[in-house]
Structure 1
Amino acid sequence: MPVPHEITIAVDPAVEAALAKWLTESGTILHFDRWITPGLSGALLATVVLNTPGRAAVGLIMKICPPGKVTGKEAQRHAEALEASPAFAATHLVTQPVEPIRGSRGWSIMFQEVAGGSLRTIRPLSAIQGVDLAQVTATVVRSVLLDWNPTPSTQPVTAVDFFRDLLGSRIDKGGPMDQLAEQMAYGSDPGSPAPLWVTGRTGNVVPNALAWTSTDSWPEAASNERLMVVVGHAHGDLHANNILIPQKPLPNPSGYRLIDLSAYAGDAPLVRDPGHLLLSMLMDEVADLGDLKRQAVSEFLLDPSLERSDYLQVSGLLELIKAVTEVGDQFASQLGLLDHWQDQAQLALAANALMFAARLPDVSMKQWCFELACEALGRFCTTQGVEAPDEAPSASLLGAQEPAPFDAVRAFEALAVACADWSATHTTILVVDSARLTPESQAKISSLRWRVVVDLNSSTDINGGWAASLGLPGDRRLVTMGQDPLFGRSSTVWLAGGRSQRHGPHRPRVRTPTVALPASPFRCPGH
């Protein structure tokens, strides 16, 4: 039987040949319906209808899996998951009505049932909106831990081995961890070797998570610590696109289905899936946050029991973190293994954060994930009584902007709040020396809607605050020597308060009373 043209033009010749052979031998006619959005593995997905002699026509998802250590084993591992837990599989997995088709060079073709019989009434968790996402996610995580693992077991594993096992082949020579290490710089010398300890942005001296993936020089108190690792059935790559939620019309999380089981194992650390899912759901949200809010999320991930007013600004994310963490803690408490579970959770947070640091393209988010991994390892070491050295070099990814100290970031946040509600009858004026700010801080300040900026930086029009505002939305007008400022209702007048390289000295024409903010290199005046 011929392979439909829509498939032939889109797949590798090895796939076409294997599919054509199977269709001929089985007498099956395959009708192509449409391609659907693929996942992150590089597999091709399509809805098709199989017409096999003696059987009713059936609509299925056809998944064409490329060669690879993980993707090439998906059909086998999916079958293992179905066989190992029939009751759970009947409710929360999808069946494979047709045996997988093996092609040459490692290609394979899978056919899976359409969960619920319809693609219109089921959505990935990542697309769920307008509901209590924290509770929906917690319902899924609780079921993955409890329903899939009614009788979990334990394996005693040293902390070092556990940390490295979570990272798997990613720590192999030339793998993702080595590639990430090549992008790191320590202290002021980009060529410095990787130290065991680094100074984080918070000022804490913490383990260098990258160095600890390979070194055998872990402190004795940490390297000899044996964890009672809770093991059982686990997805292995759980994220919000691998969880399908029925909607009829409201989401029904208890009817969820798991897909993409290429990393499934029946004896995997159970702490891995909740942590990976949580970070996967946070990444896009955290990427849109400022420095202070990112730090709030980091601190809450490290210790969800914290309560501070800073966290109210990102309460939706924190509710998600708390809900998922509480489900894991409750699961472990029932086993009498809460302390071991929480130690495992810190190491899993470090390992999962390193995974995201290696795969994300955004340098600032790679840096955030790396720092989170180091802080998580630091929390584990503190629990084990490991003392950090008094000093250690800083660590940053090549190309990442040097972060501002958190006291300056907090001052900026206060500045933004204090000056956010200006109107036609309220003038907001900034007096600033942009030469004392990083380019990132200059851009942030320039993006706010000031009426007047008095910049004490003599190079403001060359590489200072006004130059940083170029390309940003809004009308900003640099007033130079001999020009009269024209004040508009929707424009920012930028006055050079010092000596301009091109225009000489200029005296501001506006008297500006100032209100100082603590720990800030700038002031926020208003009248």
Structure 2
Amino acid sequence: MLHIPPEDVEFIRDSCGPEVVDGLLGLDGEGYRWSELCLRRPLWTVPGSSYTGAVLMAVLVAPSPRQLVMKVVPAGAPGREASVHAEALDAVPEFAKLHLVGRPYQPLDLPDGRTVMFQEVAGGSLADVVPVGSLGRDEQSQVIGTVVRGLLAEWNATALRTATPVQVTVPEFLRRELGDVWREGGSLQAFGRDLDIFDPSPPWLYSDGMRLPNPYLLVKGGHPALPDPTVPVLRGLGHGDLHLDNVLVPKSEKVVQPHAYRLIDLCTFSERADLGRDVATLLLSVLVPHVNHRNELPPDQRHALLRFVVDPDVSHRADIVPGAAAQVTAVRNTARQVMRDWGDPWDLQFLLSLTAAALRFTTYSGISEAGRTWFARLAAHACGEVLARTREKEGTARPPVREPGRDSFTVPGFGHADPAPHDRSAGFVPNQGPKRPEWQRETGVRDDRTVVGFGPDHTVVSVDSEGGIRRWTVSGEPLPGAGGHAPRQQLGHQSLVASLTHSVVVARPKELEIVHFPQRGGALRPPPVPLRNGDHFLVTSGGDVFATHDGNYLTVRNCQDGAPIEALPCPPSMAASAVSIDASVVAMARSREVYIHRRGREPLRKTVANSIPHARSRIMRLALPDPGLQLAVSPSGSHVGCVTFEEVVVWSTDDGREVYRRKLTDREAREALGAKWVRLVCTETGTLFWLRRGRLSVPTAASGTQLPQFETCADVALSRDGRLIALLSTEGRLEVWEL
């Protein structure tokens, strides 16, 4: 009869219940010839460490003396682990001997449905064998590259030689991969509802300046606005849940031995698994520490990491959180090298595997809301890349994947973007103004054409008339900048500071210069973006994206390389234009008509009064050219403001209401005549700031209240979230205020 020390009996009973003790004491089968079983001292236990709720502890048995891991597996679906583990061991015995954990004894079935398994100790040691998740980044990169190669080139060598691709639609693939977390309103659907992007579900979402398909609707399938492409898929042996803590690796003399890795917890093993699932799961588990912050990554880092995972570009590396690029490369490049004969179809399958894995990660309770929101974004980016790559093959017109819009992942009460400083439901506020100074400093540049703007994380940037760039942190500490050069800017304020990436756009004759500032330092200057003619000008608003116009079309462009995203026809004799931070609202105007384009909704057309002072008779109007005007759009696109030579008007874009209108005083109208470098800025509450002749006023207040200022103002800018305002004088004094 098996002898277990009384203190160990008590511990096992307390940890696992009396049924386990009774089962152990009753062991008398032919496979068990033990007379002694005791817990290893000091105790090695990991109660509840598995997501299945299994309890693990190290035991010593004899004869013959042996150290084992005893695993008590719960009843239900996890109870299949014993039989599935056996299938994994038998599938490729050579691989199993080197990289799986053996099962030297048959499992013990308990009356309550649970199973007790006895497994070999991975690598023969519980002290010198560690989970890969506990290693440093450099050691992790070594191991995960080796594991990915082993999964595909060794474990699946035979499967790949004999495999025939299976043609499946994207929804079929995703539903098969997601299984129970999707079916019957599972935890995945619940998280989509929290995000306000599932049930009801818009077919297209907006994230980081890009228009992407809703991954939840792709899982459902059959939506008339979304395609259901068919893709070839390779299947073979798969672990099923290969996160970093399910890979163990030994150390010899404290040095990691990557080729001696072992895979544990094989309860989700399958002989017909998606070959990309383990690779994608391993990759995303590597990224959890990078994205699992209480607050979201800064927009430039978040966007760069998302794009580097789904469509790697060397330009993304500069903005990626430290260490993440090497880890992503270790997984992606190794898998691509092993699967090079399959090539493009493998890339497509891996993007689908990333989509499914990212959606699964949104259901894990151990990941913060910020992390789960990042994985939801990743799912949208990955399936967007799938649709982009299958569009031409199907020969049908699809909406462009790259298109800006309001961020779908920052909804009230969820997500981690900074909330708007004012409740939009409060309506129009005519005289919002600077409240509290944040900081001020001398820039050293005296230039009446200098532009100021806010970059990511409220960094502040000035650009002089020759493109010289100076940058500061939100607290006023200097950051690396770049020198300028001739020729000067085309016309007035013709520079723009990007809000998602540390980039600046400068308009020069017939071309655009884009300068990037990577985190490692220095300035990157890609080749200039050519424009068709010298009459193509920069629209000095936006930020997530930017826009140019040539009198015929207003073109929205990507801040990374200036590539066109969409084009809108300009009205005849266009006098002014402005776009919201993401170009979801675009305003263009003739002398007396304003056209407001709202993405996904009907456009608005408004009329305004406009004539030059002292020339307002009908006869004089006919003799003079049509006067110009100024337009401004609030950062989110909630309001559009207009100042003509006669009046000030503000509209709400949600319902098209006119929320403010007044006639200009004669003095205001006269001061606008011939004023150089006029700038109009609109806040989220609809307050307008009007810069002309170096003086800043609030035209939406009675008689156009002028703000107190010590020097002539060269430029004014709002931060992306509308919380801060920057004022830059012609003498080089920079002030940042809270609104």
Give TM-score scaled by structure 1 length: 0.73
* Structure 2 counterparts to residues 251-400 of structure 1, below 5 A: 251-288=256-293, 289-304=297-312, 306-308=313-315, 311-333=318-340, 336-360=341-365, 361-385=367-391, 387-388=398-399, 395-396=408-409, 399-400=413-414
Could you tell me which of 142, 164, 169 is aligned with 2:175? 164
Could you tell me which of 146, 154, 158 is aligned with 2:164? 154
Write the distance in 1 (CA, Å) between the matches of 2:404 and 2:725: 30
Write the distance in 2 (CA, Å) between the matches of 1:522 and 1:134: 43
- Describe the SS at the equivalent of 1:147: helix
Give the structure 2 partner of residue 449 of structure 1: none
Q: 1:131 to 1:339 in 2, by over 3 A?
A: closer
Q: Deviations over 1:253-307 (max 9, x none)?
A: 0110111001111221111101111101111222244343122211111112x12
Write the distance in 2 (CA, Å) between the matches of 1:319 and 1:165: 31
Task: Tell me how far 1:354 sits from its aligned partner.
Answer: 0.6
Give the structure 2 partner of residue 117 of structure 1: 124
Give the structure 2 partner of residue 410 of structure 1: 456
Q: 1:268 to 1:313 in 2, by over 3 A?
A: closer
Structure 1 residue 141 and structure 2 residue 140: aligned?
A: no
Aligned residues between the structures:
430
Q: 1:31 to 1:417 in 2, by over 3 A?
A: farther
2:132 and 2:249 in contact (8 A); partners too: yes
Task: Tell me how far 1:514 sits from its aligned partner.
Answer: 11
Give the structure 2 partner of residue 36 of structure 1: 45
Q: Deviations over 1:145-198 (max 9, x none)?
A: 111111221331313211221112222103222322332325xxxxx8433523
- Describe the SS at the equivalent of 2:196: strand
- Could you say which structure has the higher strand fraction? 2
Task: Tell me how far 1:353 sits from its aligned partner.
Answer: 0.7
Write the distance in 2 (CA, Å) between the matches of 1:130 and 1:279: 14
Tell me, which stretches of 5 or more residues in structure 1 are unaligned?
187-191, 424-506
Identity rate, percent: 28
Q: Deviations over 1:118-168 (max 9, x none)?
A: 111111111112734323211111111111111221331313211221112
Write the distance in 2 (CA, Å) between the matches of 1:344 and 1:129: 30
Task: Tell me how far 1:111 sits from its aligned partner.
Answer: 0.8
Write the distance in 1 (CA, Å) between the matches of 2:374 and 2:53: 26
Write the distance in 2 (CA, Å) between the matches of 1:97 and 1:413: 61
Tell me, which stretches of 5 or more residues in structure 2 are unaligned?
392-396, 420-452, 462-470, 479-706, 728-733
Task: Tell me how far 1:311 sits from its aligned partner.
Answer: 3.0
Could you tell me which of 9, 13, 18 is aligned with 1:8? 13
Task: Tell me how far 1:28 sits from its aligned partner.
Answer: 3.9
Write the distance in 2 (CA, Å) between the matches of 1:279 and 1:130: 14
Task: Tell me how far 1:202 sits from its aligned partner.
Answer: 2.2
Q: 1:519 to 1:184 in 2, by over 3 A?
A: closer
Write the distance in 2 (CA, Å) between the matches of 1:344 and 1:523: 47
Q: Deviations over 1:481-517 (max 9, x none)?
A: xxxxxxxxxxxxxxxxxxxxxxxxxx99x99x99977
2:80 and 2:267 in contact (8 A); partners too: yes
Write the distance in 2 (CA, Å) between the matches of 1:41 and 1:359: 13
Q: Deviations over 1:400-437 (max 9, x none)?
A: 146359x96625256795367869xxxxxxxxxxxxxx
* Structure 2 counterparts to residues 170-181 of structure 1, below 5 A: 170-181=181-192
Task: Tell me how far 1:391 sits from its aligned partner.
Answer: 9.5
Q: 1:169 to 1:154 in 2, by over 3 A?
A: farther
Q: 1:7 to 1:231 in 2, by over 3 A?
A: same
Task: Tell me how far 1:315 sits from its aligned partner.
Answer: 4.3
Give the structure 2 partner of residue 241 of structure 1: 245
Q: 1:225 to 1:522 in 2, by over 3 A?
A: same
Residue identity matched to 1:126: G
Write the distance in 1 (CA, Å) between the matches of 2:231 and 2:316: 37
1:102 and 1:109 in contact (8 A); partners too: yes
* Structure 2 counterparts to residues 353-502 of structure 1, below 5 A: 353-360=358-365, 361-385=367-391, 387-388=398-399, 395-396=408-409, 399-401=413-415, 403=417, 410=456, 412-413=458-459, 418=473
1:14 and 1:107 in contact (8 A); partners too: no
Query: Relative contact order (alpha carbons < 8 A, sep ≥ 6): 1 or 2 greater?
Result: 1
Write the distance in 1 (CA, Å) between the matches of 2:316 and 2:186: 41
Give the structure 2 partner of residue 183 of structure 1: 194
Q: 1:411 to 1:310 in 2, by over 3 A?
A: farther
Residue identity matched to 1:156: V
- Describe the SS at the equivalent of 2:207: coil
Higher Cα radius of gyration? 2
